[in-house]
Amino acid sequence: MTNDPARITIRRGGWDAPERSPAQERFYRELMAVERLPSAPEIAQRLLVAINREDAHARHLTALIVRDQSLSARLLRLANSAFFSIRTRVTSIHHATTLLGFARVRDLALGLSVWGALEGKSPDARRWRRLLWTHTSLVAATAKTLAERTGHDGNTAFTAGLLHDVGKLVIGLRLGDSYWSLLDEALADGREGAELEAEAFGCHHATVGGWLLQLWALPPALVDAVALHHEPLVADFGLDLPAVVAVANRLVNATDPASGVARNQVLDEIRAFAPGLLSADTWPEMYASLAREQHAVAGIFEG
């Protein structure tokens, strides 16, 4: 498990980025320079306005999303995946809103629009984007399942899962192939990428993701979940949204894709943190089901 040298604190109001060291400040300025970083997607900005409007209506949401053909196509493909277990084929954004509900479609559109805004062009960037989407969509589905099992909002958990590694996209977009090479090195050495990031930059991608989502003024609940997903599991805070995403991320990272079996060390950590949440016997079956569902949306950002 990785502890970020740019130490994160949890307060009643949510995540607060600590004061940055000089090295972290330089890294922040390099990554977050307005003239270099894509602005928040227009559709995301409009969706955020809709989130805060009491009179927001499904009709307005549909009109916003259909303006973006790529987003519409991706959302329909995701809505028709087994992640959402809809028995009839979803044929339009209006249809999706009717079947899935206003909140779920809004949150999916928000997550997908952020992903769509952070796209590298090099072969390594495209390769890692595919790998990250596979991981991210599995984490999102796992978070949704765990949230619903514990009486939490599965919609928000799914969106938080989609966004939890967005910091990697930001770093890759700004630093280019040198960053993807660092992640390749982590894979080859059997280390967490977050560890190498912390050594190289003084903070890891979870902090960077928190910076971005704060800069773009996304909902605090999503900022918290993204920024805290590599923090130790703390029983005092219970199974809140950051903990759900953190558990989902640990599970997916610790699981052998061929067998669906997770490392005992991680399972023991999760059982100690949240007794009864998950057993070693049920996880392989759950993982196999989620992996089958993920395969249907594997190429959602290609083409």
- The residues spanned by each domain of the chain are 39-117, 120-303
Rounded to 10 deg, the angle between the 58-66 and 102-117 helix axes is 20
Contact 194, 168 (CB under 8 A): no
CA distances from 25 to 3, 28, 206, 208 (A): 19, 5, 16, 12
Query: Are the C-beta atoms of 268 and 56 separated by less than 8 Å?
Result: no
Residue 230 confidence (pLDDT) above 90: yes
Of the given ranges (9-13, 176-180, 209-213), which has the lowest mean pLDDT? 9-13
CA 96 – CA 94 distance, rounded (Å): 5
Q: What is the mean pLDDT of residues 245-268?
A: 94
Average pLDDT of span 286-300: 85
What per-residue confidence (pLDDT) applies to 53?
63
Q: Are 19 and 207 in contact (CB under 8 A)?
A: no
Provide the pLDDT for residue 138.
95
Q: Kindly report the CATH class assigned to 120-303.
A: mainly alpha
User: Cα 220 to the chain's mean position, in Å?
Assistant: 14
pLDDT band at 52 (very low <50, low <70, confident <90, very high): low
- What is the per-residue pLDDT for 54? 52
58 vs 223: which has the higher pLDDT: 223
- Find the DSSP H helices in the chain: 22-32, 42-52, 58-66, 69-79, 93-100, 102-117, 123-149, 154-163, 166-175, 177-189, 193-201, 205-215, 220-227, 241-254, 264-273, 282-295
pLDDT digits (tens, 9 = 90+) for 63-116: 889 988 899 999 999 999 888 878 899 999 999 998 888 888 888 898 999 998
What is the arithmetic mean of pLDDT over 279-284?
84
**pLDDT > 70? residue 4:** no
For residue range 124-166, what is the model confidence (pLDDT) as tens digits?
999 999 999 999 999 999 999 999 998 888 989 999 999 999 9
d(CA 220, CA 73) in angstroms, rounded, equals 28
What's the mean pLDDT in 270-289? 88
* This model's pTM is above 0.75: yes
Q: Which residues are registered as beta bridge partners of 60? A: none
5 has pLDDT over 90: no
Distance CA 215, CA 217 (A): 5
Residues 6+ away with beta carbon under 8 Å from 230: 1, 2, 3, 4, 194, 204, 206, 246, 249
Please tell me the predicted confidence (pLDDT) of residue 74.
Answer: 92
Element (H or E) spanning 14, and its range? strand 14-16
Asked if pLDDT for residue 3 goes beyond 60, the answer is no
